[in-house]
Chain A
Amino acid sequence: MNNLTSEERIKLIDEMIAQTRNNTQKGAGNVMIICGYCVAIIALLNILLVYTLEQPQYAAWIWLLSIPMTIVSLIINKKKDRRALVKTQVDKIMSKTWIAFLLSNIALLTVIFSSFFVFDTWLFAVLITPVILIMLGSGQYITGVIMGFRPFYYGSGLFWIGAILCIILYPIIHQTGQFVILAICMIAGFAVPGHALNRKAEKDV
């Protein structure tokens, strides 16, 4: 059993290292699917509330629903991590990338709301949706590079195009139109690649 030549030993090492690649965990796309649909639903509910509430400025409070969504996502991720048979550096980098996105979102909202007190204008609020889309695009692109999974690249492209459309179409579509773009991007650029990742994981198992 131990009578391997040096070449065979190097080959064995290479084979074992190769075994650790392409180990997409079952249900790896679940968080993406949940976040994709949830944010899309919240965005559409926001539009609905703008047109139905007597005081439409309160419609934005619907975004508080993203807090339980984030908590649920973190719990699902933690459970998935605990059950994982193998944890790679790739998993770690990906997890950190999306934590960075979450923290960047908090920083962005703080900057925008602070700007109201400094400049006495809500004008910068029009940047919230496009900047979030740009950050989502970056997150998806990094995920795509790490996993070598093409649907994430398409998703990132969609987010970046969506961000540009949010601003150049603003005179026509206004804030509500930005939410429509956000909803479309979240489903096509987040939930759909999540489904594709789950299908890949089923094949890998």
Chain B
Amino acid sequence: MFKELDPLLHSQLRLAIMSLLISVEEADFVFIREKTNASAGNLSVQIDKLSEAGYINVNKFIDGKRPRTMCKITKKGIEAFDSYVKVLREYIGK
């Protein structure tokens, strides 16, 4: 019997965001947008969803005159990502 995939990570963009954040300490909104090729609006919505689920921490601040948004994966996010990849591998393996 297959385990169910986490619906929050099933969205392609949210999975891409989590995959980027899993391998860095923290990343700026601009960096994530460049790497995922997503629109700012869509990315903002998906980041909010991940943040609400407690998968990532979002830190908004002003750097000089520039607003910055830094995202960092949480422990809960790492665990969710790990189990998502594990289930995916089970799907491929069987």
Residues of A within 8 A of B (CB): 1-2, 4, 6-7, 9-10, 12-13, 15-17, 19-20, 82-89, 91-92
Contacts and interface: CB of A to CB of B under 8 A. Distances in A.
Contacts of A1: 11-13
B10 A2 contact: yes
Query: Which of B16, B23, B28, B92 neighbours the largest number of chain A CB atoms within 10 Å of its CB?
Result: B23
B25 A89 contact: yes
Given A7-B92, A12-B15, A13-B85, A91 B25 contact: yes
A19 B12 CA distance: 16
Contact of B20 (A2, A6, A19, A91): A19
Query: Which bucket holds chain B's interface residue count?
Result: 20 to 34
A20 B23 contact: yes
A17 B19 contact: yes
B20 A87 contact: no
Main secondary structure of the interface of A (DSSP, over half): helix
Given A7-B92, A9-B15, A85 B30 contact: yes
B30 A89 contact: no
Contacts of A6: 88, 91-92
B26 A87 contact: yes
B12 A16 contact: no
Contact of A12 (B19, B23, B24, B63): B19
Contacts of B65: none
A17 B23 contact: yes
Contact of B92 (A10, A15, A20, A82): A10
Interface in B75-91: 85, 88-89, 91
B22 interface: yes
Query: Which of B13, B24, B63, B85 neighbours the largest number of chain A CB atoms within 10 Å of its CB?
Result: B24
A10 to B, nearest CB: 6
Interface in B15-68: 15-16, 19-20, 22-28, 30-31, 35-36, 63
Nearest to A9: B88
A88 B25 contact: yes
B52 to A, nearest CB: 19
A85 B63 contact: no
12 contacts: A1-B11, A2-B12, A6-B91, A12-B19, A15-B19, A16-B19, A20-B20, A82-B63, A83-B63, A85-B30, A87-B24, A88-B25
Nearest to A1: B12
Contacts of B15: 9, 12-13
Nearest to A89: B25
Contacts of A20: 20, 23-24, 27, 35
Contacts of B10: 2
Nearest to B28: A85
Contacts of B13: 1
Nearest to A3: B12
